[in-house]
Amino acid sequence: MDNSFTKLIDKLKNRNIYLDKNTLSRYTTGKVAPFAVIEPDSPQIMSEVMRECYHHKTVVNIWGGGSHQNLGGQLQPYDITLSTKCLNKVIDYEPDNLTLTVESGNTLTGIQNRIKADNLFLPMNPPFSLSATVGGLAASNKFGSFAQYYGTFRDFMLGGKAVLADGQLIRFGGKTVKNVAGYDMTKLFIGSMGTIGLLTELTFKLIPFPEKILSVHLLADNPDILRSALGKIKHTAYPVLSSVLFLDLEDGTVRNPALNIDFQVREKDVKNYQTEINRIFTQDITMSENDFTEYNKRVKSYDAFFDIDDSEILYEWIVPKSQIFGLLSYLQKESEQLNRNIKVLSYPGMGILYSKLTTDEKNDVSALVTLLTARRQYVKSLRGLINIKQCPGQLKQHFDMWDMAGDQFKWHKRIKHEFDPTGIFAAGRFVGGI
Amino acid sequence: MELDNVYDKVISCSKCGFCQPTCPTYLVSGLEHEVARGRHQLVRSIIEEKLPMNKDVKNTIFQCLMCNACYTNCFPKIKTDQVIARARYEYIKRFGQPQLQRYIFKYLLRHPDTLGRFLKMASVGKRSGISGLVQVLRILGWFGKNIANAEKLLDKIPFKSLRERADEISPGQKTVRGKVAYFAGCGINFANPDIGLATLQVLKQRGFQVEILPNYCCGLPAYAYGDLDSVKWFAEQNFAILEQTDADFIVTDCGSCTSFLKEYHRFVNPPDKGDRIERVLNRVIDFTHLLADTEEFAEYKTNDDKQKITFHDPCHLAHHLNEKQSSRKVLSNLPGLDFVELNESDFCCGGAGSYNIAHYDISRKILERKLNNVESSGADILATACPACIIQLAWGVRNTRLPVVVKHISQVVLEKSIQGK
Amino acid sequence: MRMANMGLVKQCRKICGKKNVLHRPIDLLLYEYDASMEKGRPDVIVFPENTAQIQEIVRMASGMGVPVIARGSATNLCGGTVAFSGGIIIEFSRMKNILEINVEDQLAIVEPGVYNLDLQNALAKYGYTFAPDPASQKVSTLAGNAAMNAGGPHCLKYGVTVNHVLGLEMVLPNGELLTIGGRVSTAPGYDLTGIMNGSEGTFGVITKLYLKIIPIPESLKTMLISFTEIEHAANSVSSIIARGIIPATLEYMDNLCIRTVVKSLKVDYPVDAAAVLIIEVDGPAFTLDEQVKEIESICKENGATDIRLATDDNERNTLWTGRRGALGAMTRLKPSIVVFDGTVPRNRLPEALQRIDEISKKFNLQYGTLLHAGDGNIHPIIVYDERNSEETNRVNIGCQEIMKLCVELGGTITGEHGVGREKIQAMKYLFNPEDLHAMKKLKTVFDPGNICNPGKIFP
């Protein structure tokens, strides 16, 4: 620990700073623990801390709920962890305006519970919403199946505040649903993985709490049947909140296929929709009707898919919507050739598919790299892309986790450099190792 | 400066740009110079002395078709044709009126007999293949250098004018439903007398007593070239003639004449103005409109063959008079015809009087767009209600060999009507 | 008068061909304006026919330090396409092709100069639509919509332009062609597409757009609801939103607007009403009656005096004719017009309307109000005569006051028109220097030489 860092710690006494091993190990990303964990309890203090870090060239890793710390590439060495845990106030809540401004350390579930009382909802269901903070979710641009209908953070985050590398606390956006005053900095921070600033405050557009969900379930193992069922709703404006497809590919065979198509409807319309659904689907479907709260429990079970253990690799395929089933049959063949089991969860309405592979001792790195190369080549032909979202830490260094065309990367790097010229925000996890 | 008269108009242009997608010249050029917004700003700058009235402004002022398609989309409802006519007036005052125009507006059109004699000579020339004669006479080409294009426009020049053929009309119904004073537009009288005959015949069949007015040119050609002094002369002469008739309706079968007669209040100034002008102008009605209003008196043949017919809206009907319903009402009732709507039916054909001669290239591009729409309508007959449009469209159809016949609505109606007794 | 820079003209001609370059005084004069009151004369106007020409123009401009201003139909209301400090105007009237409509991938790919409505019409054949529908859609270009992040009545339910742009191809100031986003729903890295939308042409020149298209809702119901008090209408808006109903559109017009449209557009609106709301709901036919009933009862609770439901397409179109034509009709009252588009939280609308009225009285402004009420987006339309400098001055001060008011109520200075040249001073009401400095960092990244549409956005 060098001298200037000691000075920093000295300055930050009484600022919720933790130096004990226990805490440090809990807030460790990658292999090396931070020298300190700081949990500032206001944006102003966060700003002060950052100013000091900037001054002392102390590299920080930002920590929200810790649920997605293993996302992306290998985190480069850093000095301290800045936790947003104590940024947990609700700043401005206007149910009548359907807007909510909260500090970034609030968990999504916490927020949902709070606004449920006013019959409102923040329309997203990313995995791990119990522990994940909204700041972390926004920074990693997480989304779940509801994104098909309600979009992602970029569609309902209206503004916020962030602390920049030099400690400056800035404000952007606002709490109106329309706002074109200057650059849309909100978009810049969404998905920036904590590389250019630390979100302290976020403003969201809310929606009325959904009333009922009518779900269509289909268990056909013939992809053509699944495809035709999805075709029934594709070119319609029905309120399809979510459509999720699960299946396992075992040595080229489709196992445990399940397609859920969920319609968000008002209580008064349930009967009519039931009739309508029975009319449009000619496939062998079952239908269920749930209150949104109950339904949400089922949706939470999807999280299990994303609960990656130390031996798994999670791939994210993003392809033009028409290519999902082509991609599925590619994976089917692949599983046969590789003699592997591939687990799949897809949001076909968004052209997104997640696949999981389990690694084992025998798995040599070069085979996995070859696989990724082949997949990239294939997905390029579909004009899509493939990212590795998560994988065992020791493998990260071998992969280019993010799929980005070379000519684009330069601009991302320049943005990073402009906002964080001295590299105060820990690098490594974002595109091209930013 | 006389231009100040239009200052209030151009200053109220909010520059919203809604004229763009309606403006034929903008659509073929993509230039701010060639759209009402730009034209208004140009005139405004001249008035505000930010831009000199020099020859650079000529194209912007003179390439407007005066179709007023922009007016239909215009929020502050600026009549661009009025701004442009004023600007042209100012321009020719500054730079002089081309000799040929002066000859036409100040002499030829004021002496229809001389014009008639010239046209007879031209007609002979054209029929006998000595079309060079037309060139010598420079009758049709109001701009000398474009005479070759002008000459091609008309496939033949009629030897006799409508007035000379008035006796060919067969007697009409015995029941007299009203009296029509027929204003014979130049395009009908000299270039398309067959249309005029058809019009008069149809009117008789529907029970109208018809007189042909001894009128002069309505003045629109002079207006289009900014010769507002001549416009005043034509308007005053014609107004006196119109005032003398006691007919119930003053009818023309040229949409341009109809709309321009309706504008006479801007050019004539008799004592106790309001009343007298109103009495005359209220009786002016386009033939198409009268047709639609007298549909109940129509007696059509029964007819089994099915032909597709479509209608091109002349700008002066569609944009100046906001009259688009009548033609459709009439055409969709005709036996043996299937009315199909023409895409962009009220988009100018590029004829615009003699615009096709003065601005050949732009006009041709505009016409091309029109003909593409005609082709995709699949119509066998293309009807319209203005002789200038007919000349332009027929020329286009001849050139492209499009399998479609161009007719005036009166000719279409006549063919389907039972001859009156 | 600015004299043509012949060196620059020659360079442009070399790239785009002589016929695609304009530079005479009259040309410059005709490209000095947009639909706002701002003016600024360019040095030269070019009409590129393809992206390669744009790249060369931009590269050349960068080398010479000459500004480039991308200009679509110049229908923006904020001076966004005005060549404030001279330079090259790049016009897109020769790049108007729809390149691809792909309903299976639910996207459309277009050239920058395509009119919004032309795309809508092309999509309608497939039962699809592009949700952003700014009032200028007949004539505004899609690249312009993206550059200004345009709004429109349907934003309430469907979001603004940025929510419907999947990707862009752009020429950056160094002449490089960059494709961001594309045929897929999301891409890794910073959200460059998100940043480019609404950047008002200050980062580069958009040369191609990848747009998200959506199926047209099965049916629509449109209502015209009258109120005798402005407050009742404003309260109804808040109540509808608070009750959790999100109609497709929720529009407001005040009495002056009503009377003006009745007079000039011959629509059948209640001339005695202090305000009307035009509310449209969309979705499967069987869901609409209930929504209509609910909205009716909320409005009645808030004092609505008359509720009219359009029974067919014809009536529906008539209702919309009045709304769509309102801004235009106002232009007939006086020669000049200025429209602001400050936005406030929706529950602050009643207060905002009342205080705008106070401001107008204080500065003796003649104005009518349109609102995209569901969004809290206020359009006070002030009519005046720009030839009267005293009146113009009052209008200017009044507008600044209105923008300050919007900020004070927790809103913003511009909801959908953009900052452009017109509102740069007002940016200070909303942001402090540090906030603006952060935005400028982005500008530095993409356009360090400040050649792309300089003099805009920042005070």
Q: Which residues of C touch A350 (CB under 8 A)?
A: 185-186
**Chain A nearest CA to C22, separation (Å):** 31
β-bridge mates for residue A312, sequence order: A358
User: Would an 8 Å CB–CB cutoff place A350 in contact with chain C?
Assistant: yes
Q: How many helices (H) and strands (E) does chain B have?
A: 24, 8
Query: Could you tell me if C122 and C208 lie in one domain?
Result: yes
In chain C, residues 380-419 whose CB comes closer than 8 Å to chain B: 385-387
**Chain C nearest CA to A286, separation (Å):** 22
Query: Any idea what the Cα angle at residue C141 is, between residues C138 and C142, rounded to 5°?
Result: 115
Give every CB contact of residue B153 below 8 A, 6+ residues apart in sequence.
Answer: B140, B356, B357, B391, B392, B395
Please name the helix (run of DSSP H) or strand (run of DSSP E) that holds residue C210, with its range, or none: strand C205-212
pLDDT over 80 (residue B138): no
If you measure CA to CA, which chain A residue comes closest to C434? A170
Task: Give all strands of the β-sheet with C336-339 in edge-to-edge order.
Answer: C304-309, C219-227, C275-283, C249-254, C366-372, C377-384, C336-339
Task: Give all strands of the β-sheet with C88-91 in edge-to-edge order.
Answer: C21-22, C44-46, C88-91, C68-71
Query: Could you tell me if C344 and C407 lie in one domain?
Result: yes
Query: Is C395 a member of any domain?
Result: yes
Domain count across chain C: 4
What pLDDT score does B92 carry?
Answer: 94
Confidence of residue B245 (pLDDT cuts 50, 70, 90): very high
Query: Could you tell me if C255 and C191 lie in one domain?
Result: no
User: Would an 8 Å CB–CB cutoff place B60 in contact with chain C?
Assistant: yes
Q: Do chains A and C touch (3 or more CB pairs under 8 A)?
A: yes
Question: Do the beta carbons of residue A241 and residue A262 sit within 8 Å?
Answer: yes
Q: Which residues of B touch C337 (CB under 8 A)?
A: 14
* Interface contact A181-C413, CB threshold 8 A: yes
What pLDDT score does B255 carry?
Answer: 94
The residue behind tokens 């239908």 is A287
Task: Report the candidate in B102, B359, B74 with the shortest Cα–Cα distance to residue B226.
Answer: B102
User: Would an 8 Å CB–CB cutoff place B8 in contact with chain C?
Assistant: yes
* Interface contact C331-B17, CB threshold 8 A: no
Q: How many CB pairs under 8 A join A and C?
A: 252
Strands A36-38, A80-83: pairing kind: parallel
In chain C, residues 290-329 whose CB comes closer than 8 Å to chain A: 290
First to last CA, chain A: 25
User: What is the C-alpha to C-alpha distance for residues C151 and C375, in angstroms, rounded to an integer?
Assistant: 10
| Topology classification of domain B162-292 | Glutathione S-transferase Yfyf (Class Pi); Chain A, domain 2 (1.20.1050)
Q: Which residues of C touch A187 (CB under 8 A)?
A: 162, 191, 194-195, 197
Query: Could you tell me if C247 and C205 lie in one domain?
Result: no
User: What is the C-alpha to C-alpha distance for residues C224 and C270, in angstroms, rounded to an integer?
Assistant: 9
ipTM of this complex: 0.96
Q: What is the CATH number of the domain that holds C24?
A: 3.30.43.10
**Quick one: what percent of chain C has pLDDT higher than 70?**
99
CATH superfamily label, B2-95: Alpha-helical ferredoxin (1.10.1060.10)
Averages of pLDDT over each 10 residues, chain A, 434 residues: 69 82 91 91 94 93 92 93 96 95 97 96 93 96 96 96 98 95 97 97 96 94 92 94 96 93 94 95 93 93 90 95 96 92 96 92 83 96 95 90 88 97 95 92
User: Would an 8 Å CB–CB cutoff place C33 in contact with chain B?
Assistant: yes
User: Would an 8 Å CB–CB cutoff place C26 in contact with chain B?
Assistant: yes
Q: Which two structure tokens, joined as six digits, stand for A337?
A: 């050739």
Chain C neighbours (≥3 Cβ pairs under 8 A) are A, B
* Interface contact C75-B17, CB threshold 8 A: yes
User: Would an 8 Å CB–CB cutoff place C431 in contact with chain A?
Assistant: yes
Residue C312, burial from CB neighbour count under 10 angstroms (0-12, 13-18, 19+):
exposed
What pLDDT score does B128 carry?
Answer: 58
Number of residues written out for chain A:
434
Query: Could you tell me if C22 and C49 lie in one domain?
Result: yes
Query: Could you tell me if C166 and C123 lie in one domain?
Result: yes
Q: Which residues of C touch A169 (CB under 8 A)?
A: 434
Coil/strand/helix, residue B8: helix
The residue behind tokens 């009377």 is C259
Query: Is C458 a member of any domain?
Result: no
User: What is the C-alpha to C-alpha distance for residues B121 and B124, in angstroms, rounded to an integer?
Assistant: 5
User: What is the C-alpha to C-alpha distance for residues B101 and C129, in angstroms, rounded to an integer?
Assistant: 52
Confidence of residue C175 (pLDDT cuts 50, 70, 90): very high
What pLDDT score does B126 carry?
Answer: 63
User: What is the C-alpha to C-alpha distance for residues C290 and C283, in angstroms, rounded to an integer?
Assistant: 12
Q: What is the 3-state secondary structure (H, E, C) of C216-244?
A: CCCEEEEEEEEECCHHHHHHHHHHHHHCC
* Interface contact C26-B41, CB threshold 8 A: no
In this structure, of A128-142, A202-216, B95-109, C137-151, the range with the lowest mean pLDDT score is: B95-109
Confidence of residue B144 (pLDDT cuts 50, 70, 90): very low
User: What is the C-alpha to C-alpha distance for residues C428 and C133, in angstroms, rounded to an integer?
Assistant: 29
Query: Could you tell me if C210 and C253 lie in one domain?
Result: no
**Chain C nearest CA to B145, separation (Å):** 23
Residue C1, burial from CB neighbour count under 10 angstroms (0-12, 13-18, 19+):
exposed
Query: Could you tell me if C234 and C286 lie in one domain?
Result: yes
Q: Which two structure tokens, joined as six digits, stand for B387?
A: 């002789």
The residue behind tokens 């200053």 is B11
User: What is the C-alpha to C-alpha distance for residues C185 and C167, in angstroms, rounded to an integer?
Assistant: 9
Residue C342: what residue type? G
> How many CB atoms within 10 Å of residue A321?
23
Residues of chain B with CATH 1.10.1060.10: 2-95
Question: Do the beta carbons of residue B312 and residue B389 sit within 8 Å?
Answer: yes
Task: Tell me the CATH number for domain B299-416.
Answer: 3.40.50
* Interface contact A182-C423, CB threshold 8 A: no
If you measure CA to CA, which chain B residue comes closest to C334? B12
β strands within C262-420, DSSP E: 275-283, 304-309, 336-339, 366-372, 377-384
**Chain C nearest CA to A371, separation (Å):** 20
Confidence of residue B269 (pLDDT cuts 50, 70, 90): confident
What is the full DSSP assignment across A108-177? Answer: HHHHHHHHHTTTEE-----TTTTT-BHHHHHHTT---TTHHHH--HHHHEEEEEEEETTS-EEEEE-SSS
Query: Could you tell me if C152 and C245 lie in one domain?
Result: no
Task: Report the candidate in C61, C72, C119 with the shortest Cα–Cα distance to residue B32.
Answer: C72
* Interface contact A174-C412, CB threshold 8 A: yes
* Interface contact C411-A99, CB threshold 8 A: no
Q: What is the CA radius of gyration of chain C?
A: 22
User: What is the C-alpha to C-alpha distance for residues C126 and A2, in angstroms, rounded to an integer?
Assistant: 66
Q: Do chains B and A touch (3 or more CB pairs under 8 A)?
A: no
User: What is the C-alpha to C-alpha distance for residues C116 and C139, in angstroms, rounded to an integer?
Assistant: 7
Task: Report the candidate in C341, C423, C424 with the shortest Cα–Cα distance to residue C376.
Answer: C341
Q: How many helices (H) and strands (E) does chain A have?
A: 16, 19
Query: Could you tell me if C176 and C250 lie in one domain?
Result: no
Q: Which of B11, B17, B74 sits opposite C73 (nearest CB)?
A: B17
Strands B381-384, B307-311: pairing kind: parallel
Residue A228: what residue type? S
Number of residues written out for chain C:
459
Q: Which residues of C touch B45 (CB under 8 A)?
A: 29
User: Would an 8 Å CB–CB cutoff place B20 in contact with chain C?
Assistant: yes
Please compute, for residue B13, the number of CA atoms within 13 A of its CA located in the half-sphere on the CB side.
29
User: What is the C-alpha to C-alpha distance for residues A365 and C373, in angstroms, rounded to an integer?
Assistant: 58
Which DSSP symbol is given to A221?
A: S
In chain C, residues 150-209 whose CB comes closer than 8 Å to chain B: none
Q: Determine the structural domain holding residue C130 and report its residue range.
A: 98-215
Please give the average per-residue pLDDT across C330-337, as a whole number.
Answer: 90
* Interface contact A411-C106, CB threshold 8 A: no
Q: Which of B12, B18, B31 sits opposite C139 (nearest CB)?
A: B18
Query: Is C428 a member of any domain?
Result: yes
Which among C74, C91, C108 is the end of a domain? C91
Residue A115: what residue type? I
Query: Is C294 a member of any domain?
Result: yes
Q: What are phi and psi of C44, to 5 degrees?
A: -160, 150
User: Would an 8 Å CB–CB cutoff place B38 in contact with chain C?
Assistant: yes
**Quick one: what percent of chain B has pLDDT higher than 90?**
63
Residues of chain B with CATH 1.20.1050.140: 162-292
In this structure, of B174-178, C51-55, C144-148, the range with the lowest mean pLDDT score is: B174-178
Please give the average per-residue pLDDT across C109-127, as a whole number.
Answer: 97
Q: Which residues of A touch C78 (CB under 8 A)?
A: none
User: Would an 8 Å CB–CB cutoff place A193 in contact with chain C?
Assistant: no
β-bridge mates for residue C280, sequence order: C222, C249
Coil/strand/helix, residue A200: strand
If you measure CA to CA, which chain A residue comes closest to C343? A176
Query: Is C382 a member of any domain?
Result: yes
Task: Report the candidate in B159, B135, B353, B328 with the shortest Cα–Cα distance to residue B260.
Answer: B353
Which DSSP symbol is given to B317?
A: I
User: Would an 8 Å CB–CB cutoff place B376 in contact with chain C?
Assistant: no
Question: Do the beta carbons of residue C172 and residue C202 sit within 8 Å?
Answer: no
What is the full DSSP assignment across C70-115? Answer: EESS---SSSTT--BTB-EEEE-TT---EEEEETTTTEEEE-TT-B
**Chain C nearest CA to A1, separation (Å):** 32
Question: Do the beta carbons of residue C365 and residue C438 sit within 8 Å?
Answer: no
Question: Do the beta carbons of residue C34 and residue C75 sit within 8 Å?
Answer: yes
Query: Could you tell me if C33 and C113 lie in one domain?
Result: no
Q: Which residues of A touch C155 (CB under 8 A)?
A: 177-178
What pLDDT score does B75 carry?
Answer: 87
Q: Which residues of C touch B18 (CB under 8 A)?
A: 136, 138-139, 328
What pLDDT score does B2 carry?
Answer: 64
pLDDT over 70 (residue C294): yes
Query: Could you tell me if C242 and C287 lie in one domain?
Result: yes
User: What is the C-alpha to C-alpha distance for residues B17 and C34, in angstroms, rounded to an integer?
Assistant: 8
Angle, to 10 degrees, between the axis of helix C349-362 and the axis of helix C389-408? 150
pTM for this entry = 0.94
